[in-house]
Structure 1
Amino acid sequence: MMSAQSVLDSSIRARIQRTPLFSAWPEGAFAALLEQARVRRLDLGEILFHEGEEARAFYFLLDGEVDLISLGAGGREKIVEIIQVDDLFAEAVAFLGGRYPVQAAAGLASTVVEIPFAPFMTTLQGNQELMPQMLARLSMRLHYLIKELRHLSMESANQRVASYLLDLCPAGGECVEISLPAKKAAVAARLGLTPETFSRVLGRLRKAGLLRVDKRSLQIPDPQALRRWADSG
């Protein structure tokens, strides 16, 4: 069951302040905003907010996993994004009509910080120098959504999986280790694939020597080779 507490300790405040959105905020404005934030704990599968619900806050993921889900015809669910630890989410809703465009549900037992929109918007309106950061954040989100639409509409299953794994890789390095941000079934849904198809593609990558798999831990010996494999279709 969802529970909440209103006091944020210094380590949580520091993590939020390191995000691109808040890194340039004046200390006084940032501290005043977080005085009205609260920590909320979610059980596995618990709904944080519903699609179409009036938006009053955005969130920072402290631990666990939150899935953003779009509800299609007949109530069919599609995971559109898997939120990872130390990510902000739903902050753009303040500029998009005031209602959540997706549903947010805990993919694991999770902890989030709830940051209310009202004082956030008041601070932005009173500190116009902060607005470029918000616009940059919205621009990044738009770029991400356009990229995701291209992946889902134009790429094969092989390309979707390879591109997704490459997006998880840190820049540089000849051999990288990454972890899937969620269970394989959730990642498959995020990519518009069945779990069986996702597993088959991982199997192809293993046979090609491009991937080693240990549950949710993956090793990519040569990211450039994986990119060439993805580009070949």
Structure 2
Amino acid sequence: MFDAAPAHASVALQRRAAISADTGHRLDHLLTGPVVTFSPGREIYAEGDKSGALYQVAFGVVRIYRLLADGRRQICAFQTPGEIFGFESGAQRHFFADAVNLVGLRVLRPGSEAELSHELLKLALSSLDRAHDHLMNVGRNDAAGRVAAFLIELADRQDSRDSNIIDLPMSRADVADYLGLTIETVSRVLTKLKVAGIIRLDSARHLDVLRWDALENMTA
């Protein structure tokens, strides 16, 4: 399944900025108070809580998820530094949010600055785009393709393609719950990628990509 032959062409780099510099400057005065820290696993908000505030990730990674009727957890998104989350269509939260690792957040309270409404809409639509991409990944790819697409997504969001380094702040269980796989399947795919010479696993939370073309070819 995994071709470890030398690459003959470079893969085009596709990066999507989490938030433009101009938008960031314009939102700065709406981000109130100091950076609030959350220890790993600490809840930021729960399903059913009153909605309203948005949050910008200063550092760390936030996990957005729902609990299914049978008690299983479905992770819907990971929020990384610079990104804003907490958009809701109603008066109550529809998801849980908690800290994957040590997280710092700044609070944004929309509604008082009408001229920024279109900027917030852009950010909400960007989050929606990522959700659609995730659904396409889970719906069209096999297990290996899902893991490969996830690694590419992380690299693009971390802007780390040039360095070939991907940090994995989340656990294998988190990755499995995000991709609709089991922990064993995620670990097995990563091991196959390593044996095929596509990635190098420096540790459980850090890897180097050796073959971007092979990783790309595994995705739908």
Q: Which residue of 2 aligns with 1:210?
A: 198
Q: Which residue of 1 aligns with 2:4?
A: none
Which of 157, 160, 166 is the aligned partner of 2:143?
Answer: 157
- 1:38 deviates by 4.3
Counterpart amino acid of 2:201? V
Matched residues in 2 for 1:203 and 1:112: separation?
34
Q: Which residue of 2 aligns with 1:228?
A: 217
Q: Which residue of 2 aligns with 1:99?
A: 92
Q: Gaps spanning 5+ residues in structure 2: where?
A: 1-16
Q: Which residue of 1 aligns with 2:19?
A: 20
Counterpart amino acid of 1:79? I
Q: Which residue of 2 aligns with 1:183?
A: 171
Q: 1:42 to 1:173 in 2, by over 3 A?
A: closer
Q: Which residue of 2 aligns with 1:122?
A: 112
- 1:133 deviates by 2.4
Q: Which residue of 2 aligns with 1:11?
A: none
Identity %: 27
Note if contact 1:174-1:222 (Cα within 8 Å) is conserved in structure 2. Answer: no
Structure 1 residue 135 corresponds to structure 2 residue 131: no
- 1:182 deviates by 1.5
Note if contact 1:21-1:134 (Cα within 8 Å) is conserved in structure 2. Answer: no
Which of 32, 35, 40 is the aligned partner of 1:39?
Answer: 35
Structure 1 residue 201 corresponds to structure 2 residue 194: no
Counterpart amino acid of 1:221? L
Show CA shifts across 1:148-195 (max 9, x none). 112222321111001111222347967712111322222222111111
- 1:46 deviates by 1.6
TM-score norm. by structure 1 comes to 0.75
TM-score norm. by structure 2 comes to 0.79
- 1:70 deviates by 0.9
Note if contact 1:82-1:181 (Cα within 8 Å) is conserved in structure 2. Answer: no
Matched residues in 2 for 1:111 and 1:174: separation?
26
- 1:113 deviates by 1.6
Note if contact 2:166-2:207 (Cα within 8 Å) is conserved in structure 1. Answer: yes
Matched residues in 2 for 1:68 and 1:172: separation?
23
Which of 37, 53, 57 is the aligned partner of 1:57?
Answer: 53
Q: 1:47 to 1:161 in 2, by over 3 A?
A: same
Note if contact 1:21-1:133 (Cα within 8 Å) is conserved in structure 2. Answer: no
Note if contact 2:40-2:102 (Cα within 8 Å) is conserved in structure 1. Answer: yes
**Per chain length, whose mean CA-contact separation is higher, i.e. which structure has more relative contact order (CA < 8 Å, sep 6+)?**
2
Q: 1:40 to 1:24 in 2, by over 3 A?
A: closer
Note if contact 2:77-2:131 (Cα within 8 Å) is conserved in structure 1. Answer: no
The two structures, once aligned, show a CA RMSD in angstroms of: 2.6
Q: Gaps spanning 5+ residues in structure 1: where?
A: 1-17
Counterpart amino acid of 1:144? R
Show CA shifts across 1:23-58 (max 9, x none). 24776x743x23x44432223222110012111311
Secondary structure of the residue aligned to 2:136 is helix
Number of residue pairs matched? 201
